Amino acid sequence: MELLEGIYTRRSVRNFSDSPVEDQHVMEILKAGSWAPSGLNNQPWRFVIVRDKGIRSGLAGLTRYGRIIEGAPVAVVVFCDREAMYHDVKDHQSIGACLQNMLLAAHALGLGAVWLGEILKNAEEVKALLDLPKQMELMAVIALGHPRDHNQSSSRKDLRDLLLKER
């Protein structure tokens, strides 16, 4: 898949088939995430891969979008390691770059994915469920699987509304 085509045709995928996701594909997606840029190259992203149905149900109970996590064969829970961080805004931006690489990589591999952020309201409960140390700050859950449907439309503002000035 061409890079620009991938950026423009990526969509949030919320419905998945029952086909499992190969481990090597999950690892490729994590690797793509890890190649995001970060300030001082501090690479603050950390990952938990969840395939277990019981734990996915536990996660699902912590967000109003739980149905998506229950229906996805894999959830990747993404954290920011506060011990690696140096500037909250810049580190959160880097995590966003990492998440975007992961979504693009999933798309390039023919998989579907969606970035779930609503679960951040229950960050402490997610950490407890996964038994993670205090320094891990929940950033997002990516639900991942083979898309059940394609053809989803999306839209963006006109560039003229985003371009404040040219100097």
Q: Which amino acid is at 92?
A: H
Cβ atoms < 10 Å from Cβ of 76: 22
Token pair of 148 as six digits: 């059940």
Write the interaction track for its own copies spanning residues 68-87; mark x where CB under 8 A is met and - where it is not.
Answer: -----------x-------x
Give me the half-sphere count of Cα atoms (radius 13 Å) on the Cβ side of residue 3. 2
Among the candidate windows 13-21, 46-54, 63-71, 143-151, which touches its own copies by CB under 8 A? 46-54
- Examine residue 154 and tell whether it contacts its own copies (CB under 8 A): yes
Measured from the CB atom, the residue of 16 and 107 that comes closer to its own copies is 107
In the bound state with its own copies, the residue whose beta carbon lies nearer, of 19 and 37, is 37
Q: For residues 80 and 44, is the Cβ–Cβ distance under 8 A?
A: yes
**Distance separating alpha carbons of residues 56 and 7, to the nearest angstrom:** 28
The 111-140 site mask, x for binding its own copies (CB under 8 A), equals ----x-x--x---------x-x---x--xx
